[in-house]
Amino acid sequence: MAKFRTCNDASFFRRQKYGLVLKYTACIGDAEIEDNVAKIPLNRDDGSDKLILQFRFYKNGAIRVTVDEAQPLRPRYSIPEGDVLEKNIEGYRITVVKQSASAMILKLYDSELSVVSQPFTAKISCAGQTVFSLNSYNFFRIECYRKKSYMSQQNVTGLQPGKRKASDSTEDEPPLKKSKSKDGSKNLKPTVELNQGLWEEDYQGVVDSKPYGPSSIGADVVFVGFQHLYGLPEHALRLSLDNTEMSSPIKLYNADHYGYAVGSTMSLYGNVPAVIAHSPDITVGFMWLNASETWVSISKETWVSISKQEKTRNERPQVMTHWVSESGVMDMFFMPGPSPWDIFKQYADLTGKSTLPPLFALGYHQCRWNYDDEADVRSVDARLEEQQIPYDVIWLDIEHTDGKRYFTWDKAKFPDPKALINDLARKGHKVVTIVDPHIKKDPDYYIFREGTEKGYFIKDFTGKDCVGECWPGDSCWLDYTNPEVRDYWASQFSLEKYQGSTLQLHIWNDMNEPSIFGNPDTTMTKDAVHYKGWEHRDLHNVYGMYQQMATYKGLLDRSSGKERPFVLSRSFFAGSQRWGAVWTGDNVASWEHLKLSMPMLMTLNLFGINLCGTDVGGFEGEPTAELLTRWYQTAAYQPFFREHSTKGSKRREPYLQPPEHLEAIRQAIYARYRLLPYWYTLFYEAEIHCRPVIRPLWVEFPKEEQTFTVEDCFMIGNALLVHPVTTAAAKSVEVYCPGEKELWYDVDSNLALNGGQRHEVAVTLKKTPVFQRGGTIIPRKAKIQLSSELMKDDPVILYIGLDSQGAACGTLYIDDGHSFDYKSGNYLYLEYSFKEDRIECRVNSCNYKPQSSVNKMYIVGMEKRPVSATLVQESASTELQLTYNSGTKCLTLPVMEVPVWKPWTIQLNYNS
């Protein structure tokens, strides 16, 4: 029997998907419009349910559509404002274009929202074209809370929370038969009665007591004029999401999914309930803000139209999506774009900007489950140093604690953690320890004692502290949805409280879906009770984010708000980009999983979760030396770069690899460290301009349809195209270089490839095909040391790749790398340009003056050798030596030693 519930195991899904069509009328005549909000009564046609429909217009162009019960028996859950949604998002006054009893048209910039009263539908057009339609398939359905007597009675008395009913402990999955659902899709339709599971439901014999009965919501949203939809991280799916008609809908219910299968629509550890639809003409976004179990069906319909009238006029493809959630308010956000950059900005306005991590977070992380003791850690450090392999962080997994009691140390293994951390810190290395949300049920453990006394644990439906099993055995779970619990948790990270910690110690939050062994979906039972009486069912998907948020606060508070925290979390939700990094959990040592890393990480970046990565080598299983090497080469170009492997796996640190592989891995790590100035600049620009750090090709080439499904390569910023080797024994890879007018310079050979074409690129074990886009300037570090901190003041080299017009530009951002001083202007931001034989460095902000210099420049794509180059700085001129390679068309301006923070120009001179 499946460990994870399928859609047909969920009674709310069955009712939403296969229940009778319900009709609703929007009473437009009774609409109340005030400033940026329009409120309209929405009634079910049989008179049973009264709802309130609200439209909210925002200054950034987004339209929010909320549906709640008018007079609920019990309030519906919505995530408190400020936790996922930013507080005080600026509204925009509604303009009414037309209003009658049967329809109304509201305007926001060049978007129009038209609402039809009966049956209720809404459409949004941008620049005259319909792009969204809501409820054109009549899937809109809200199950209002009702008294139990209303429906079939099922007696829950006598049940133990989350325990099996003896009679049905061996019950099988409901029998399924093939039949068409109401949208004509071929999902397997269950034969179980639709009114089964309304007031009590069990899976594998574990009972969900459902004291409040059914409360699900569902609606269809059509993206009109689109064939490509991206989003709904985190899934092991393709970049451009496929139809789900022949598979299962996509499940959003954060789960501990060990060794997940590639191509599965089942949930992984975190999720963002949002998608981006893209066409050559326009990009739009949509978020379904709901934290309960959610299923999304996708059906792509090419060249049909949404209504008879439009069909004759305008035949367009469309993507139909059907969203179904178990509980909560229906809360939808329509983002009009029109460009990908506008979507990233609109989404960040709603859910927050991704924050600039400390520089060390972008270095290489050395992890495994476990480094056993202090001697082990010191030996890994020494052996990496011996092999001249830089790393920034070494990680300690659960066994470093005293019996999985987090915030403690196993004294025998780590007798003096502070001394260890301080010794490593002298070489610029940091330590990360794991701190999970399950608290060992042990009255002698202070967190358990205090949590019990203060009533901080999640309760079962009878009001007792919920007990379940995780690494320490019987455990309780802190309720991070309670702000007071978050403060309590945060206070545990103070240097006084967390014995053995220092400011160089950072945190890893794992198992925070939360993972509970033996339960359905390996998580908390749905009838567990949280702060303010909300059920776990209502807020499951946001639980992990709250833990990361509380940990972030803890690390912030311990430095009195001065130092940037680093927290890695396994679970996440929309908005997690504000609290730190995520990784893709327990992946597998296979070539498929290596390939999968690209669509998974690109999708996370589309929703601001930039600092993300995979376990290098695969968590589960043993990679061959070749697979491991290729994984390093891929991950060196992905945002969060950490090797990690499961307990008992063969040691796989770089220095244990055969010489040829070790050398290739070393070079990959060097490539990462050389590029740190570029990575760091991109993370700064992600915070300021909301641009993803790694990008699918279509983001940079939005008109080029050929790029829309490309997922075997990715861009870092706008300047680097990375096409890693992801097959065994490869002798070459086929690389698609986008953009007909673009030039792409192989970073190893400097040779240019033409854009708009496929190229066969030869590879050896050492080679990762990486190309610099013509027209860009990339800063790189000139030499490698043992950690990013030691390299801070080392010189920078500029790599200038000219476009077909002979021009290029780029930026460089530098600050102290660890504090929040940059927020008060203490940073350096430079703009470099190459135009008409003149290279210029413009200083946009220079309140931070690092020691480093620019000491070299490589200019590729130079058709002619200049006779001389003159550097002008503070009105002093210096002649620079130059060398030119006519074969590679590369000009080198060596050893300039210009302080990095000073403006300068270089004039290239030619004989006239």
Catalytic residue IDs: 510, 513, 586
- Contact partners, residue 340, CB within 8 Å, separation at least 6: 276, 278, 283, 698, 699, 702
- The least distance separating ligand NOJ from the CB of residue 444, rounded to whole angstroms, comes to 23
Instruction: State how far the Cα of 910 lies from the Cα of 465, in Å rounded to an integer.
Output: 80
Does residue 369 belong to the site contacting ligand NOJ (CB under 6 A)? yes
Provide, rounded to whole angstroms, the least separation between the CB of residue 521 and ligand NOJ.
Answer: 16
Instruction: Report the alpha-carbon distance of residue 388 to residue 770 in Å, rounded.
Output: 23
Nearer residue to ligand NOJ within complex by CB, 615 or 789: 615
> If residue 447 lies in a helix (H) or strand (E), which one and from where to where?
helix 446-454
Contacts of 174 (CB under 8 A, 6+ apart): 8, 9, 190, 191, 192
By CB under 6 A, residue 507 contacts ligand NOJ: no
Please report, for the chain, how many H helices and E strands are present, in that order.
Answer: 14, 55
Beta carbon of residue 296, minimum distance to ligand NOJ (angstroms, whole number): 25
Residues in 417-456 that interact with ligand NOJ by CB under 6 A: 434
Residue 256 or 349: the one with the smaller Cβ distance to ligand NOJ is 256
Which long-range contacts link 248-251 to residues 24+ away (Cβ below 8 Å)?
248/6, 248/7, 248/187, 249/7, 249/13, 249/187, 249/295, 249/296, 249/297, 249/298, 249/322, 249/324, 250/295, 250/296, 250/297, 250/298, 251/4, 251/7, 251/293, 251/294, 251/295
Number of residues located near ligand NOJ, criterion CB under 6 A? 11
The nearest distance, CB 9 to ligand NOJ, in angstroms, is: 25
CB 513 within 8 A of CB 546: no
Token couple for 480: 């991070």
Q: With beta carbons less than 8 A apart as the criterion, state whether 630 and 726 touch.
A: yes
- The residue written with tokens 């890893």 in the block is 508
Phi and psi, residue 633, nearest 5°: -65, -30
Instruction: Please state the closest distance from residue 228 (CB atom) to ligand NOJ, in A.
Output: 31
CA–CA separation, 787 and 232 (whole Å): 35
- By beta-carbon proximity to ligand NOJ, the closer residue of 369 and 632 is 369
Nearest to ligand NOJ of 510, 815 (CB atom): 510
Q: Which is nearer to ligand NOJ, 202 or 397 (CB)?
A: 397
Name the minimum Å distance from CB 167 to ligand NOJ. 35
User: Do strands 121-126 and 206-208 pair parallel, antiparallel, or not at all (unpaired)?
Assistant: unpaired
DSSP run (H or E) holding 44: strand 37-44
The residue (of 397 and 685) whose beta carbon lies closer to ligand NOJ is 397
Nearer to ligand NOJ, 414 or 701 (CB): 414
Q: Is 177 helix (H, G, I), strand (E, B) or coil?
A: strand
* Tokens, residue 116: 């039809």
Which residues, listed in sequence order, are joined to residue 299 by a DSSP beta bridge?
Answer: 320
Minimum Å gap between C-beta 556 and ligand NOJ is 24
Q: Which helix (H) or strand (E) holds 395?
A: strand 393-396
- What's the min distance (Å) between Cβ of 161 and ligand NOJ? 25
Toward ligand NOJ, which CB reaches closer, 9 or 513? 513
Specify whether the CB–CB gap between 38 and 32 falls below 8 A: yes
Q: Which is nearer to ligand NOJ, 385 or 620 (CB)?
A: 620
| Residue with smaller CB distance to ligand NOJ, 268 or 719 | 268
- Please state the closest distance from residue 628 (CB atom) to ligand NOJ, in A: 17
Of residues 398 and 600, the one with the C-beta less far from ligand NOJ: 398
Site string for ligand NOJ, 519-558 (x = CB under 6 A): ----------------------------------------
Tokens of 868: 């001389």
Helix (H, G, I), strand (E, B) or coil at 132: strand
3-state secondary structure of 118: coil
Q: For residue 14, which amino acid is it?
A: R
Distance in Å from the first CA to the final CA of the chain: 80
**Nearest C-alpha neighbor of 55 from the set 115, 116, 132, 127:** 115
Task: Tell me if residue 434 falls in helix, strand or coil.
Answer: strand
Shortest approach of ligand NOJ to residue 482 CB, angstroms? 25
> For tokens 């620019």, what's the residue?
854
509 and 583 Cβ atoms separated by less than 8 Å: no
Residues 619 to 638: which contact ligand NOJ by CB under 6 A?
Answer: 619
Spatial separation of the C-alpha atoms in residues 535 and 174, rounded to whole Å: 26
Handedness of CA 243, 248, 253, 256 (dihedral sign): negative
Q: How far is the CB of 593 from ligand NOJ (least distance, A)?
A: 14
Length of the chain: 912
Q: Which is nearer to ligand NOJ, 630 or 644 (CB)?
A: 644
Q: Which of 585, 696, 775, 779 binds ligand NOJ (CB under 6 A)?
A: 585
What Å distances lie between residue 765 and 634, 732, 878, CA to CA? 13, 10, 43
Q: How far apart are CA 136 and CA 126, in angstroms?
A: 18
Nearest residue to ligand NOJ, scored by beta-carbon proximity: 369
Taking the complex as a whole, how short is the minimal distance between the CB of residue 25 and ligand NOJ, in angstroms? Answer: 49
Residues 635-664 that bind ligand NOJ (CB under 6 A): 644
**Taking CB under 6 A as the rule, does residue 398 contact ligand NOJ?**
yes
Other Cβ atoms closer than 10 A to 338? 19
* Beta-ladder partners of 869: 880, 908
Query: Toward ligand NOJ, which CB reaches closer, 461 or 572?
Result: 572
Q: Least distance in Å: CB of 570 to ligand NOJ? A: 6
Q: Please report, for residues 216, 252, 268, 405, 891, the alpha-carbon distance to residue 233 in angstroms, rounded to integers and kept in the order given.
A: 22, 9, 9, 31, 43
Binding region for ligand NOJ (CB under 6 A):
369, 397-398, 434, 510-511, 570, 585-586, 619, 644
